[in-house]
Amino acid sequence: MISVDEALAQVLALLSPTDIETIEIRDATARVLAHPVSAKRDQPPFASSAMDGYAVKSGELDPYAQLLVIGESAAGHRFDGAIKAGQCVRIFTGAPVPEGADRILIQEDCTRSGNVITVNPDIDTAHYIRPAGGDFRAGSTIDAPTPLTPSNIALIAAMNVNELPVYRKPVIALVATGDELVHPSETPNQDQIISSNNFGLKALIESHGASARLLPIARDDMDSLTTVLDLCEGADLIVTLGGASVGDHDLMGKMAADGTLDTEFYKVAMRPGKPLMAGLYKGTPLIGLPGNPVSALVCGYVFLIPAIRAMLGLPRAALATQTATLGIDLPANGPRSHYMRAHCEIIDGQNICTPFERQDSSLLSVMTAANAFMIRPPNQSSLSAGDTVQIVPL
């Protein structure tokens, strides 16, 4: 067995970034920018008002001073002229500031009668003018690779950039294996169960920027397995579910042993997830995940999310961890890294992490209730409530 870190490094070494395509900004949600983009204009492109009020000369705001309103400036419709002594312009938020004005007198700080305003004796001292280019200047750049979030998509749109170079979404083929499996809505016989891993992993994959292809269930004979694997042609990564252990019906393990699968590693010192493998199938990267549903999901988080990020041109790294405070006593850990399903909550300002008592790799109900993995390194000594632990939030 190899360590989790060694296994992840070997998985990532199998993968390359996808090719680059150009999309419109309307389709940019959850994509990854492949090349830098630059602003085509200043934002704002003119000095604009930050409040509703009156554009004035700041030196004319003595208490009870009166100013003549000579026009209006609204968003999209500027006042075409200049303010002279004793004048002001009605202005609205976002509108261009007229020539000659250097301050916005907010509407609450004056009274108006006809076309004359009177300045109140006690007024706000802020100027409420947003300078031209105060947000960004033409030529300002967003670097790449960058995941495109709602905020930076809005920023790029404001830069007047419509077409974006992005990494193509990786296509990941999901192959569930086993005679015991049937799809949801099908009627299982008394010895069968419902296939769930592939649907959970599809959701995980697609929520992290890749596309998942659900293949037919491969049955426990080599012809069925190779037929389904050959249907994965064109995928960037094949992920098999089940069949990676050492039983008579675990065909992925047999493929690794007989050389049909060009294997990088087989078995990882982690719990759950020991029967994990990776390699190449006819030149396509393949990761063989365990069949137990929790094991498959844990390995999905630990290996597939970093794999997707690598294929999207993002930094190659393990999931980021955080520290938390252990909520219970725990005995010493065994020889494998243990990804314990846990619940974390803030209590008296501390992030208290409590692993569930039941950690069996078949318990999807426990996995669903968890909001974190608590990671215990191999051979870690016993822990007491209050000790600091490492977690991965889910």
Q: Which amino acid is at 177?
A: T
Cβ distance 235 to 172 under 8 Å?
Answer: yes
Q: What is the largest CA-CA distance in the chain?
A: 95
Q: State the chain's mean pLDDT as an integer.
A: 94
Q: Measured between alpha carbons, how far is 43 from 135 in angstroms, rounded to an integer?
A: 5
- Phi and psi (nearest 5°) for 344? -115, 140
Query: In 3D, which of 305, 312, 296, 372 has the Cα closest to residue 341?
Result: 372
DSSP classification of residue 380: P
- For 110, half-sphere exposure in the C-beta direction (CA atoms, 13 angstrom radius) is 28
- Helix, strand, coil percentages (3-state) for the chain, rounded to 5, are 20, 35, 45
Burial of 302 (0-12, 13-18, 19+ CB in 10 A): buried
Q: What is the pLDDT of residue 262?
A: 85
DSSP classification of residue 170: P
- Sign of the CA dihedral with 139 first, then 167, 289, and 263 last: negative
Question: In the structure encoding, which two tokens stand for residue 271, read together?
Answer: 């719990």
Which single residue is written with the structure tokens 């493998």? Answer: 277
Q: Which ranges constitute the DSSP H helices of 288-383?
A: 293-299, 305-311, 364-369
3 state SS of 306: helix
pLDDT tens across the length of the chain (394 residues): 899 999 999 999 999 999 999 999 999 999 999 999 999 999 999 999 999 999 999 999 999 999 999 999 999 999 999 999 999 999 999 999 999 999 999 999 999 999 999 999 999 999 999 999 999 999 999 999 999 999 999 999 999 999 999 999 999 999 999 888 888 888 888 888 888 899 999 999 999 999 999 999 888 888 888 899 999 999 999 999 986 555 555 677 677 667 677 888 889 999 999 889 999 999 999 999 998 889 999 999 999 999 999 999 999 999 999 999 999 999 999 999 999 999 999 999 999 999 999 999 889 999 999 999 999 999 999 999 999 999 999 9
> How far is the CA of 327 from the CAs of 70, 197, 359, 376, 393, in angstroms?
69, 30, 16, 14, 16
Residue 44: asked if its preceding bond is cis (omega within 30°), the reply is: yes
Angle between helix 222-230 and helix 251-258 axes, rounded to 10 deg: 80
3 state SS of 159: coil
Cβ distance 123 to 105 under 8 Å?
Answer: yes
Question: In the structure encoding, which two tokens stand for residue 191, read together?
Answer: 């010895």
Which single residue is written with the structure tokens 């669903």? Answer: 368
